[in-house]
Structure 1
Amino acid sequence: SMSLPTCSMIDISLSDNGVFVMCMKNGKANALGKEFMAELQQAVHFASNEDRVKGVLLKSASPKIFCGGLDLGQISSFVSSDDPVGNFREFIFDFLAGCCKSLLNCPKPVAACVNGHCLAGGLVLALSTDYIAWGPGDHIKVGLTELAVPVPFPPLPMAVVSTRVSPPVARKLMFDAYVTSPKEMFSMGVGESYSDTPEANAIAWLEKKISMGVVPFGISKKLWWKNVTNNEPTAAEQMEWTKSTVAALMPTSSL
């Protein structure tokens, strides 16, 4: 029998209908640190390559937070390290972009059940799936902002947002760091459903895709993301973005 990947920060299960459930449980906020993003990639790669998996459900074990964004503790440790540029480049381009790319490249339908705060890199993660099911709550914050560290948008996250959301909304989210409730996000055209039962909605959507056949879906999905996945920044472009970003984060540094 096939064994599921062992992860310490994600609970993984496979239901009889072929839905591979990834329940994130990394601390209070599911902060996107290197180890957690490596586990997310590993789990998604498994789902992509395992025939018994027909669809993927991404959700959070926390009733309050889907994902609070990048691990700011790790980012500040890079900034004060011996090689801030190298460490930050790896974090953004290998780990964050790698994590998002694993979802974009997954040939199966992926749904996110978002029933808590979904911020910054957490929203990029959700937008890298095929279907966002928002849960209710006017107190819930959704948006692309990282107030403590004003990190400029990396290339892949910007491409993901621009491909998933209409241009005026994408600009408002990225350039104004607009934060609002799931209900208003949905009314702006971000995400695919809004209800009191987001997990049931996400599973119903996955089951519908599964009944229609996931192979055609995967072929269409690959084409949808082709311009993003085929336009990876070169090593020089990665370094240029990282150097200017690190310089902006630490104006006193001598790079």
Structure 2
Amino acid sequence: MSEQRNRTVTVDYSGGGAIAHVRLNRPEKKNSLTLHTLDELVSITHRLRKDRNLRVVILSGEGDTFSAGLDFGSAMRSPSGIAKAFAPRPWRGTNTFQEATWGFRRLPVPVIAAVQGHCLGGGLQLALAADYRFTTPDATWSVLEAKWGLIPDMSGVHSLSSLVGQDVAKRLAMTGEMISGERAVNLGLASELAADPEAAALELTRELIGRSPDSVAQTKKAFDRTWHLDPRATFATERLLQARLLVADNTRRAREAAAKKAAPVFAPRRVR
């Protein structure tokens, strides 16, 4: 199943609609992000969030690169568009630049980024919004905003703070230095090296689909909600999410399948 109406982002489905392949689709421009692309990403994540049959999202770039970041040439031709995109949405706490990336973190399913070629600036911040990131060893990663006299402002400050030490985050954001995929893994920006990141993402997807969609969703929620909280608040969240799972239909299905040593057949996800 395929959806091709978006000009700069495409969404293809596999696994009977359980897997959404979201691809940046400007290979001739190294998949750089226009204001229109940001709007598309926001729309796509909001739509995917409502899909109870969705199990995993794989995020990648068409061609031989992930994303070279914001297309400043295109964006600067529309000062009013930048102003509109920069204005925050009070009910979400993000503006368009931030929601285009953080919308993937809001999804109740795992998001896996497959990175090759360039992963720069806004493209890097998009990759950091994924739950897991495969990268080729020779990919180029950079918090490139420093080159333009800016800071990472597409949710990157928060993402960096949850992935690397403060000293590393400051160095990367202050210098904009280019690092390889291998070094990105060593620093904690990327999760794992892979010669073929999309193939690695699909392999991980097969493991995830074998688990209860509600358990996977609640696990993502548990870590995202508590990563910077104190132990007492974390324990309370654990109890609440676990109590909901204990009475869930998909938990029963997982338990019965495990007892029979059979492959479980799950109902659509209940967790939003």
Q: Where on the TM-score scale, by shorter chain, does this alignment land: which range?
A: 0.7 to 0.9
Query: Aligned letter for 2:83?
Result: G
Give the letter aligned to residue 156 of structure 1: S
For the structure 1 residues 173 and 213, does the alpha-carbon distance in structure 2 shift closer, same or farther, using more than 3 Å as the test? farther
Distance 1:167 1:131 in 2: 20
Deviation at 1:127, TM superposition (A): 0.4
Q: How far does residue 194 in structure 1 lie from its aligned partner after superposition?
A: 0.2
Shift of 1:10: 2.0
Partner of 1:113: 114
Aligned to 1:175: 174
Contact 1:103/1:129 (8 A) holds in 2: yes
The residue type paired with residue 86 of structure 1 is A
Compute the RMSD of aligned alpha carbons. 2.7
Give the share of equivalent positions with the same residue, in percent. 22
Assess, with a 3 A threshold, how the Cα gap between structure 1 residues 102 and 5 changes in structure 2: closer, same or farther. farther
Q: Which residue does 1:21 correspond to in 2?
A: 21
Give structure 1 stretches of 5+ with no counterpart: 229-255
Structure 1 equivalent of residue 36 of structure 2 = 35
Separation in structure 1 between the aligned mates of residue 82 and residue 119 of structure 2, nearest angstrom: 27
Displacement of 1:3: 8.1
Q: CA deviation at 1:152?
A: 2.4
2:86 to 84, 89, 95: 89
Q: Is 2:85–2:95's contact at 8 Å kept on the other side of the alignment?
A: no
Report what 1:251 is aligned to.
none
**2:143–2:176 contact (8 Å) kept in structure 1:** yes
Q: 1:157 to 1:227 in 2, by over 3 A?
A: farther
| Deviating more after overlay: 105-114 vs 188-197 | 188-197
Q: Which runs of 4+ in 1 moved over 4 A?
A: 2-5
SS in 2 for 1:146: helix
* Alpha-carbon displacement from aligned partner over 1:174-212 (angstroms, at most 9, x marks no partner): 223232110111122221110212111111112212212
Distance 1:46 1:171, change over 3 A: same
Name the residue aligned to 2:77.
77
Rounded to whole Å, the distance in 2 between the matches of 1:84 and 1:198 is 34
Partner of 2:133: 132
User: Which residue identity does 1:129 align to in structure 2?
Assistant: A
Taking structure 1 as the reference length, the TM-score comes to 0.76
Give unmatched runs, 5+ long, in structure 2. Answer: 228-272
Equivalent position SS for 1:66: coil
- The 1:150/1:164 distance shift into structure 2, 3 A limit, reads same
Q: Does the 8 A contact of 1:134 with 1:182 survive in 2? A: yes
Deviation at 1:88, TM superposition (A): 6.4
Q: Secondary structure at the match of 2:176?
A: coil
Tell me which of the two structures has the higher relative contact order, counting C-alpha pairs closer than 8 angstroms and 6 or more residues apart: 1
Q: What residue is the counterpart of 2:196 in the other structure?
A: 197
TM-score by length of 2: 0.72
CA–CA distance in structure 1, aligned partners of residues 62 and 214 of structure 2: 30
Q: Distance in 1 between matches of 2:59 and 2:193?
A: 16
- Is this contact kept in 1: 2:129–2:159, CA < 8 A? yes
Pair 101,37 (structure 1): closer, same or farther in 2 beyond 3 Å:
same
Cα distance in structure 1, aligned partners of 2:203 and 2:134: 11
